[in-house]
Chains A and B, each alone.
Chain A
């Protein structure tokens, strides 16, 4: 027994005496906040999946960290007539196995990407209605039915795969690495589901020489555990640093923080559509006519919210208050709109004017694991509304349940909730994305208003948006988008709260080029 105890003690001492594992020079370990659901780049249009795919596969056009479009596998793109764009492809690019990249691969990608079996959310959105034709080995034409100025933006969203390896390959083939041959900066090494993804440098990459010899990505869902992993040296860099820890990490001499504003606006969506909304009740609990249909009530709600308090107390100063759909510097923004000022007295007056001087009851629904501090924001909003007489309940749930119900949980597949906390990140980096999906009248057949869960409908705004989408002249398009935004915001179609600011934390010597699209991409990690 004694011998046993001694042996155990000796073993323990020996183990603890070993040095803590540090990545060898040139190796990078990243702690991600969520796991990709697959290595197949076309399986699921999901943040983590895209972040991993991005370094193994290239796109025709590559958005940089400010979402500016840069040449990728396409070196130039021009509209040659009203409905056709010509893309000239880069010469001399090789796939990871040495085979050459040609227009055939682009054509194959167009066929494959929208048709992946079992895809929860496919890339079809960006490829629908576009027809690609190979002109020669390094030229393709893409045709649409109507003029489509956003062609380059759409071409910057999906990965180009190899026809040779992709033909007949299924998602499990990509997960095992068999078909995972791309043109990107890093090559697939292994994928241990639930554990990690390992990549190695592509020595023959056509672009800037990739910095790291090996990149390992681990998913650590819990925020505190992610920070603990960084502090313990288990990872070199983490994404989505919890706001609670930022101040402490800032003062740590062994760490570097990289922050950047994102294209994502956190906002509240209101039920404009139903005369009796399921989660809006009178003070006594009885049914009432939907007060959210009155612009004064909506404005009152917006005025009751203290955005400064949310930014400083809930977001711990890691956010920027919002008055519209996109932060400064993005295309299509209005120069005239300011965030609505906090004015609870004015809010109460507006409510009285609208006939709701006594207030009413409301339930706010939101996710609890999607946006930074989402459930806390919902709680803070509920507090603020209660103070002006709108007694608010908070119900939060995990994102998969939340989005399903928010979009389709009601009768006949209609939105279920009345007042929700959501976010929208513009995938295309400009205002037509939120306008088209959130503000335009819901029209499934034409693909408008897909996320317009409040079913806001304003014909004037619709026309402006549709015109903008077909206007090729940049200046004219900017004016149309700005005007649409102004009308919608003044009509309180949605209530913007703030823009997210993302923080990446890394050990000293590593910096991250903070991306506005919030992605953590290994090629943007630079050593100092």
Chain B
């Protein structure tokens, strides 16, 4: 798709260097067409940064019992602690700085959401690709299992699993993975089925390339776009689900509060006017989920061939 300058004189055929519009670059330009998407991705980048570097940028380590003092509890945003530190967003019932708690909470929430999403994606992808590629009996069997799992709501699966496994970061990741992998499997299988019938796969088969090579090098890259969309939206969903589970009391233990736990702990102070203990974590959770969803939305619009653009 390159354009070549037409007004070349026979004597000096100057070929202007032009920008090649690869599909990827086109994708990027389409994506960044929307101001909302730009804002969303910037926001998410900030949140990611906070989550990764929380221990270094937080004013206080909210889990260090030497530093947290119950005498500082329930201070308003902007008040100072006994040691002179300013609680920018106030402090909670145990004396923890809300800003630090939110940073660490984001770290936990995002960590759990992304981690479980990635693992579920890998599992779902392998299963979906195998089902689509090998077809026949394998496909039938696998899809039965996937359909079975999909007919049960994620929250129910997570609740039952957690009631059995108990509390803990690893346990909640396991529960979220089990609740989610089937979505990925179904999506991958659907697009893989479409791709599989295309000629380039036929060609690769004729060339007697190994199954693994066909699947990984040819099938997979073309299946990726819808997978990315689903992945993004699912991650947001996983974060929301984890917050809900923590709120219900079956999620993370008290010592590793995620945003959901902070919100539920803080709710009892809402009516007495100490809104900041529940409100700010709520806003943080909201912004995180909304930004991820907006990015996923835009991705889906951009990658959907059926919409006129």
Contacts and interface: CB of A to CB of B under 8 A. Distances in A.
A and B touch in the complex (CB under 8 A): yes
Interface of A: 223-224, 227-228, 231, 242, 244-245, 247-248, 309-310, 313-314, 368, 375-376, 379-380, 382-383, 386-387, 391-396, 398
A222 B268 CA distance: 9
B271 interface: yes
B274 interface: yes
B272 A247 contact: yes
A221 B263 CA distance: 17
A313 B71 contact: yes
Contact of A245 (B70, B255, B272): B272
A244 B94 contact: no
B254 interface: yes
Contacts of B273: 248
Nearest to A383: B65
A255 to B, nearest CB: 12
A245 B66 contact: no
A244 B71 contact: no
Interface string B263-284: 0000111111110000000000
A245 B271 contact: yes
Interface in B151-175: none
A224 B254 contact: no
B91 to A, nearest CB: 11
A519 to B, nearest CB: 23
Contact of B70 (A231, A380, A393): A380
B81 to A, nearest CB: 13
A383 B249 CA distance: 23
A394 B70 CA distance: 15
Nearest to A385: B65
A383 B69 contact: yes
A393 B267 CA distance: 24
Given A379-B94, A386-B66, A392-B65, A224 B271 contact: yes
A228 B271 contact: yes
Interface in B48-96: 65-66, 68-71, 73, 93-95
Contacts of B274: 244
Contacts of A314: 70, 73, 93
Contacts of B66: 386-387
Contacts of A391: 65
Contact of B254 (A223, A313, A387, A394): A394
B253 interface: yes
B252 to A, nearest CB: 13
A373 to B, nearest CB: 8
A313 B272 contact: no
Contacts of B272: 244-245, 247-248
A244 B269 contact: yes
A383 B65 CA distance: 5
A247 B74 CA distance: 13
B249 to A, nearest CB: 7
Contacts of B95: 313, 383
Nearest to B167: A397
Which bracket fits the contact residues of B? 20 to 34
B271 A248 contact: yes
Contacts of B269: 244
B73 A224 contact: no
A244 B74 CA distance: 10
B268 A386 contact: no
Given A245-B268, A386-B66, 14 more contacts: A227-B271, A244-B268, A244-B269, A247-B272, A248-B271, A309-B71, A310-B70, A313-B71, A313-B95, A383-B70, A383-B94, A383-B95, A387-B65, A387-B66
A376 B93 contact: yes
B70 A224 contact: no
Q: Which of A224, A244, A387 has the most CB of B within 10 A?
A: A244
Contacts of A242: 268
A376 B68 CA distance: 13
Contacts of B271: 224, 227-228, 231, 244-245, 248
A248 B274 CA distance: 11
A438 B269 CA distance: 35
A245 B68 CA distance: 23
B65 A382 contact: yes
Contact of B73 (A248, A313, A395): A313
A467 B49 CA distance: 68
Contacts of A386: 65-66
B73 to A, nearest CB: 5
A376 B274 CA distance: 17
Q: Return the 5 tightest CB-CB contacts between A and B, nearest first.
A: A386-B65, A380-B70, A248-B272, A245-B272, A313-B70
A223 B268 contact: yes
B85 to A, nearest CB: 16
Contacts of A379: 70, 94
A394 to B, nearest CB: 6
A398 B249 contact: yes
Contacts of A376: 93-94
Nearest to A316: B74
Contacts of A224: 267-268, 270-271
Contacts of A223: 268
Contacts of A375: 254
Contacts of B94: 376, 379-380, 383
Nearest to B73: A313
A409 to B, nearest CB: 13
A393 B64 CA distance: 10
Q: Which of A224, A231, A309, A387 has the most CB of B within 10 A?
A: A224
A390 to B, nearest CB: 10
B254 A396 contact: yes
Contacts of A382: 65
Contacts of A380: 70, 94
A383 B66 CA distance: 7
A375 B94 CA distance: 10
A528 B267 CA distance: 33
